[in-house]
Amino acid sequence: MFDSKTKTVVIVGAQWGDEGKGKLVDVLAERADWVVRYQGGANAGHTVHIGDKSTVLHQIPSGILHSGVRCAIGNGVVLDPETLFTEIDELIDDGVDVQGRLYVSDRAHLVLPYHKLVDSLSSASKEIGTTGRGIGPAYEDKVARRGVRVLDLRHKDRLRALVEKGVAHANARLASFGVEDRANVDATIELLERLAPRILPITDDVGLMIHRAITTGANVLLEGAQGSLLDIDHGTYPFVTSSSTTSGGAAIGVGIAPSAINAALGIVKAYTTRVGNGPLPTELGAEEGERMRTLGNEFGATTGRPRRCGWFDGVVVRYAARVNGLTGLAVTKLDVLDTYEKVALCTGYRVGDHLYTEFPGDLADLDGAEPQYEWMDGWGQSTADARSMEQLPIQARKYLERIESIVETPITYVSVGTRRDQIIGI
């Protein structure tokens, strides 16, 4: 992945999230000097399996599991300081040395208890199917210019004034929901004063740090959360997350120039999943969906929610390739399809007389859309031990080749199991 011309690489989910980015970042981090998260919050849940142990990281880049790698949380992330330290303490308990290897952007906005309260009680959040972790309300405060940034922890008076503003707004919203719960200024300040002595020593100008790392030739991995179809602009709005998940968001969310990014790797499952509400054109019916969900263990890492499942949607991934400028694809969970007699790839949606081959902006255009499938022979054998393309069954190779031609992007990695070694690098 990294070479003399490819030093800064962004990793994005090219579907609706949960594509297995955690594993790819973990594998690629071995050759990185820096791994930086650029958007989202503690609603991301990267699961990384090392040996028999599985670790779920919500905010800290999974690169932290490699001792030589430095990690940062960029300004585009909304940081939940409470869970950050729960995660740090768990890592320390597991023997991971975090000291001096993890930095937080001074410009990142904080997710505070009142954001979580609003999120968990808002019917709008329930409709979209958010994780209720306060991410949306924290981004709303950021855009409305009443957010609290990490650097505000350095100024007591300013911090109190900002928290007062945030709490007043949150309480007005809670009142409008008709609930009795209210946020509290003093409790929020108390929490922040308790956490500040731990956050401030790891706070820095992350944009400047990464700029310097790039200019001195470091290998930098920019780690996205969620997926391209959940992007606030390019996703299936309004069933989207509150940030820019696509590669353009990486430059903004880290604080570097777009021209500093040399490559974009899109992670896709060999099929499609989505958690929460919103369109999923290739969604399978109850029985077939259940089969795929069980085979793929498709339950949310953060919430345990069952994911909706369907065949690989070439229209979606072609769109993601275009919007992100993908230079390569990593196809994960190929092994999940091992037992299927036939596998399908969606190449378009038929709505009445119209055939969509490009993903539409208006979700109403997807009403009653009939996915157009190409059926291919399955391979009916385990791929879990394959470590090269030659070791994959011919039908699996044909399936991957067809994905490449539909998406017009070369496949550079294939993942065939949860373990770190179960990967084919091409």
Structure tokens of 343? Answer: 């596998």
Nearer to ligand GDP, 300 or 325 (CB): 300
What is the smallest separation between the CB atom of 47 and ligand GDP, expressed in angstroms? Answer: 4
What is the smallest separation between the CB atom of 37 and ligand GDP, expressed in angstroms? Answer: 12
What is the smallest separation between the CB atom of 258 and ligand GDP, expressed in angstroms? Answer: 23
Structure tokens of 46? Answer: 């990267």
Nearer to ligand GDP, 338 or 365 (CB): 338
Kindly tell me the burial class for residue 5, based on how many C-beta atoms sit within 10 Å of its own C-beta (0-12, 13-18, 19 or more): exposed
Our measurement of the distance from residue 242's CA atom to the centroid of its chain's CA atoms, rounded to an integer in Å, reads 12
Nearer to ligand GDP, 45 or 279 (CB): 45
Q: How far is residue 74's CA from residue 37's CA, in Å, rounded to a whole number? A: 6
Q: How far is residue 58's CA from residue 47's CA, in Å, rounded to a whole number? A: 9
CA distances from 121 to 87, 177, 277 (A): 25, 8, 18
Give the number of other Cβ atoms within 10 Å of residue 389's Cβ.
Answer: 15
What is the smallest separation between the CB atom of 356 and ligand GDP, expressed in angstroms? Answer: 26
Listed in sequence order, the residues at least 6 apart from 16 whose beta carbon sits closer than 8 Å to its beta carbon are 226, 227, 229, 230, 272, 273, 274, 275, 280
What is the smallest separation between the CB atom of 391 and ligand GDP, expressed in angstroms? Answer: 15
Which residue from 201, 241, 193 is spatially nearest to 88, judged by alpha carbons? 201
Regarding beta strands 342-351 and 370-377, do their DSSP bridges make them parallel or antiparallel, or are they unpaired?
A: antiparallel
Q: How far is residue 376's CA from residue 314's CA, in Å, rounded to a whole number? A: 14
Nearer to ligand GDP, 22 or 137 (CB): 22
Which residue from 220, 208, 336, 227 is spatially nearest to 271, judged by alpha carbons? 336
Amino acid symbol at 278 = G
Nearer to ligand GDP, 163 or 270 (CB): 270
Listed in sequence order, the residues at least 6 apart from 14 whose beta carbon sits closer than 8 Å to its beta carbon are 227, 228, 266, 267, 268, 316, 317, 320, 321, 324, 326, 329
Q: How far is residue 131's CA from residue 340's CA, in Å, rounded to a whole number? A: 32
Nearer to ligand GDP, 323 or 423 (CB): 423
Nearer to ligand GDP, 196 or 392 (CB): 392
Contact set with ligand GDP (CB under 6 A): 13, 18-23, 45-47, 49, 301, 332-333, 335-336, 415-418
Contact at 8 Å (CB) between 394 and 310? Answer: no
Question: Coil, strand or helix: which one is 251?
Answer: helix
Nearer to ligand GDP, 132 or 296 (CB): 296
Angle at 12 between CA 320 and CA 407, to 5 degrees: 30
Choosing from 3, 26, 33, 46, which is the catalytic residue? 46
Catalytic annotation present for 233: no
Residue 136, phi-psi category: left (phi > 0), alpha (psi -120 to 50), beta (remainder) = alpha
Catalytic annotation present for 377: no
Angle at 195 between CA 191 and CA 196, to 5 degrees: 115
Choosing from 18, 26, 231, 335, which is the catalytic residue? 18
What is the smallest separation between the CB atom of 76 and ligand GDP, expressed in angstroms? Answer: 17
What is the smallest separation between the CB atom of 310 and ligand GDP, expressed in angstroms? Answer: 16
What is the smallest separation between the CB atom of 338 and ligand GDP, expressed in angstroms? Answer: 10
Q: Which residue numbers are catalytic?
A: 18, 46
